[in-house]
Amino acid sequence: MAKQKWNDLSGGQKGAIIAAAAVDAGLRVWAGRDLATRPKDEVNGPKWLWGTGLSLVNSMGLLPGLYLVFGRRRTALD
């Protein structure tokens, strides 16, 4: 499959890409803020590893989603 240039994409394709990028950015901000403010004993795994992954790995929202579902320990308030 040949790469398409941005100008060759339809309006719907451009919109889908922008929407996916916005969702990914929102999830990254949410997960990063949660990780930064959560005590290390409430995080499953090392905080530095989650932080590095959230900062460097482009996972199309998968890694932030994994952190939000599996990376946080449940507290009495959750």
Q: Is the dihedral of CA 31, 33, 34, 40 positive or negative?
A: positive
Question: Domain boundaries in the chain?
Answer: 11-71
Which candidate, 62, 38, 35, places its Cα nearest to that of 50?
35
**10 Å Cβ neighbour count for 38?**
16
What pTM, to 2 d.p., does this model score? Answer: 0.79
pLDDT in tens, 1-41: 678 899 999 999 999 999 999 999 999 999 999 999 999 99
Residue 34 has what pLDDT?
96
Give mean pLDDT, residues 62-74: 91
